[in-house]
């Protein structure tokens, strides 16, 4: 009983902190993605899903159920039409989840504050949906399932670049032994987009990261912000952000 009461109190405090924050949608999206991952077979924490080959089979079925399969999506069935939305809350591994959630945490809050809660929610889901749809159109014959929030998160990065181009972003660069270095967003984020472009050009069919979805999302986010808003804001600071891209739409 003591432990149940303690957990309940923690949940209440967490709920109050989200309601009282300036970016409740961002934190709610992070919570939903984490809960979906922990409850699903990809986390490997629930023994009910089995182990070994049995667990792998359950994971594949799970990704096919909730992820985007381009060939099926473009067939036009009602069920498949929903998968670009459900796939935004499904992740293929711990690294996939944590990488995406870190980027959403760092860049989502300021973008949400600028856009407002309702507009940010529609922006996030809409751009994420279109990024996955665009990838599906470009790979219409693929039967590989596609999951992950980074199409939507890439849109957040694009919008952030337009809205806060002079924001100072702390990056951890592997070739500098992960020493923290501060750069303006107009340096970090275009560099990130260029890496996605190069990676997309080298990407082959099969399991991996759907870099094209990143590029589509980034372009949608930047384009939307440039049309919807006026001049970017002045200098500001972002606490931390790693140099690598979000883990990406994963093809389990």
Per DSSP, the three-state class of 130 is helix
214 flagged as catalytic? yes
Contacts of 130 (CB under 8 A, 6+ apart): 84, 151, 216, 217, 220
From 216, 111, 217, 222, select the one nearest 167 (Cα to Cα): 111
* Residue 65: both structure tokens together: 């159920």
Diameter of the chain by CA atoms? Answer: 56
Burial of 35 (0-12, 13-18, 19+ CB in 10 A): exposed
Q: What's the chain's length in residues? A: 252
Out of 145, 150, 154, 171, which one is annotated catalytic?
A: 150
150 flagged as catalytic? yes
- Residues labelled as active-site residues: 150, 214
């Amino acid at each position: 009983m003591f432990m149940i009461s303690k957990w309940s109190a923690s949940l209440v405090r967490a709920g109050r902190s989200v309601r009282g924050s300036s970016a409740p949608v961002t934190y709610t999206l992070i919570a939903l993605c984490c809960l979906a991952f922990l409850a699903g077979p990809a986390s490997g924490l629930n023994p009910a899903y089995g182990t070994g080959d049995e667990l792998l089979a359950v994971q594949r079925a799970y990704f096919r159920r909730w992820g985007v399969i381009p060939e099926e999506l473009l067939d036009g069935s009602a069920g498949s039409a929903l998968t670009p939305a459900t796939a935004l809350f499904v992740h293929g591994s711990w690294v996939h989840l944590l990488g995406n959630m870190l980027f959403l945490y760092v860049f989502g809050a300021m973008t949400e504050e600028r856009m407002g809660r309702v507009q940010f929610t529609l922006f996030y889901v809409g751009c994420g949906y279109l990024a996955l749809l665009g990838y599906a159109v470009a790979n219409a014959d693929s039967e590989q399932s596609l999951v992950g929030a980074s199409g939507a998160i890439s849109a957040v990065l694009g919008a952030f670049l337009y809205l806060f181009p002079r924001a100072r972003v702390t990056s951890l660069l592997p070739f500098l032994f992960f020493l923290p270095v501060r750069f303006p967003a107009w340096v970090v984020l275009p560099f990130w987009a260029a890496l996605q472009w190069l990676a997309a050009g080298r990407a082959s069919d099969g399991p991996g990261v759907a870099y094209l979805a990143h590029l589509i999302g980034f372009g949608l986010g930047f384009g939307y912000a440039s049309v919807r808003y006026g001049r970017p804001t002045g200098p500001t600071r972002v606490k931390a952000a790693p140099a690598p891209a979000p883990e990406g739409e994963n093809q389990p």
